[in-house]
């Protein structure tokens, strides 16, 4: 599956030092606007066949810019340790990713990369 191939290449790039640290928030009530606007928001919808997972960027209505200078480059999804897929964005794209997966009791992890502010993660 082509999603998986791109995904592995990008992970290697990250492991070589392009992005070192994964940011996440501990408590949404005390998070700063800077943290809120970078954090992936994971919405799960139950389907007869599994789950639809929609990932957007930003919590509490605080959205991230998407401009030439500052934008979300990609969103990735993991279910447990398993990479599910990746969506890549340019400055003109809305950073929204929708994935359909089989039913699973594993943790869902979404990661997003900001071109200026690094890698951000959320788990449900
Ligand atoms: Fe940013």
Query: Given this model, what pLDDT does residue 20 score?
Result: 59
Q: Could you give the CA distance from residue 92 to residue 69 in angstroms, rounded to a whole number? A: 11
* Lookup result for tokens 């788990």: 123
Query: Total domain count for the chain?
Result: 1
Q: Quote the ligand 1 centre to 48 CA distance (angstroms).
A: 36
Query: Given this model, what pLDDT does residue 45 score?
Result: 95
Q: Could you give the CA distance from residue 35 to residue 33 in angstroms, rounded to a whole number? A: 5
- Residues of the chain below pLDDT 50: 1-6, 8-12
Q: Quote the ligand 1 centre to 119 CA distance (angstroms).
A: 9
Query: Given this model, what pLDDT does residue 74 score?
Result: 96
Residue 35 · residue 25 · CB < 8 Å: yes
pLDDT digits (tens, 9 = 90+) for 50-67: 999 999 999 999 999 999
Q: Quote the ligand 1 centre to 63 CA distance (angstroms).
A: 10
Q: Quote the ligand 1 centre to 38 CA distance (angstroms).
A: 6
Domain that holds residue 116: 2-123
Q: Pairing between strand 22-23 and 118-123?
A: parallel
pTM: 0.84
Q: Quote the ligand 1 centre to 70 CA distance (angstroms).
A: 6
Query: Given this model, what pLDDT does residue 49 score?
Result: 87
Look up the CATH number of the domain holding residue 92.
Answer: 2.60.40.730
Query: Given this model, what pLDDT does residue 14 score?
Result: 54
In the β-sheet with 108-114, what is the strand arrangement from edge to edge?
22-23, 118-123, 108-114, 72-79, 82-88
């Amino acid at each position: 599956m082509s999603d998986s191939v791109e995904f592995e290449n990008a992970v290697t790039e990250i492991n070589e030092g392009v992005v070192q640290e994964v940011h996440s928030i501990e408590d949404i009530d005390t998070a700063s606007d800077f943290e809120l606007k970078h954090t992936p928001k994971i919405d799960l919808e139950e389907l007869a066949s599994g789950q639809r997972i929609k990932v957007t960027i930003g919590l509490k209505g605080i959205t991230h810019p998407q401009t030439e200078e500052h934008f979300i480059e990609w969103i990735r999804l993991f279910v447990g340790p398993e990479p599910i897929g990746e969506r890549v964005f340019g400055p003109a794209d809305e950073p929204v990713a929708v994935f359909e997966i089989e039913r699973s009791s594993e943790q869902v992890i979404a990661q997003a990369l900001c071109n200026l502010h690094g890698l951000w993660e959320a788990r449900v």
